[in-house]
Amino acid sequence: MKVIIDLIEDIREAIGNQEDFILTAMLLKEDNSSPERLISTGEAPINAFVIDEVQRKLIFKIDRSAAVLPIGELVKHLLVLPMADMMYELRVDIETHRDAASIVGFGTSLQEKKYFLFIKLA
C-alpha cells in the first residue's frame, strides 16, 4: 500500500518536483504463463484527484477526457495537507463499476515527461 508521503518523496527524488511532468496510470496485470510476473496492458492519463476524508484515501481519477494532471498542480495541493493526512492511501479510480485500484509502484519517463503510477488490475 502506497500513501501520500511515499508519493511526495518519490516525486522529489525521481523528477525533482518538475511541475511540467504529467501524471499517468500504467496498467499492469498478471502474466498468465507466470503469475508472479506483471505485464503492461496500457496507460491512461490521470485527469483529477479527490481526497476522501472518511475513507482516508487520495483517489486519482481517469475520466477519458483530454485533460491531464500536471505534477505541479498535484504537489501544490499535497504539500499543504496536515501531517496526519500524509498517511492516506493512494488509489486510482479507473472505471465506475470497479473498485479503485491500489498503486503498487511509481516510475518516470524523462523523455516523455511522464510520472507513472503503476496499478495492478485484478
- Domain limits for position 91: 4-31+39-120
Number of domains in the chain: 1
Burial of 88 (0-12, 13-18, 19+ CB in 10 A): buried
What integer pLDDT is reported at residue 56 of this predicted model?
Answer: 97
CA distance 52 to 60: 11
CA gyration radius for the chain? 14
Name residue, grid cell 516523455. Answer: 112
Question: Hey, which bits of the chain come out as E strands?
Answer: 22-31, 34-45, 48-52, 57-61, 89-93, 101-109, 114-120
Model's pTM, two decimal places?
0.88
pLDDT band, very low/low/confident/very high, at 52 (cuts 50, 70, 90): very high
pLDDT digits over 7-25, tens only?
Answer: 999 999 999 989 999 999 9
Percent of the chain's residues with pLDDT above 70: 96
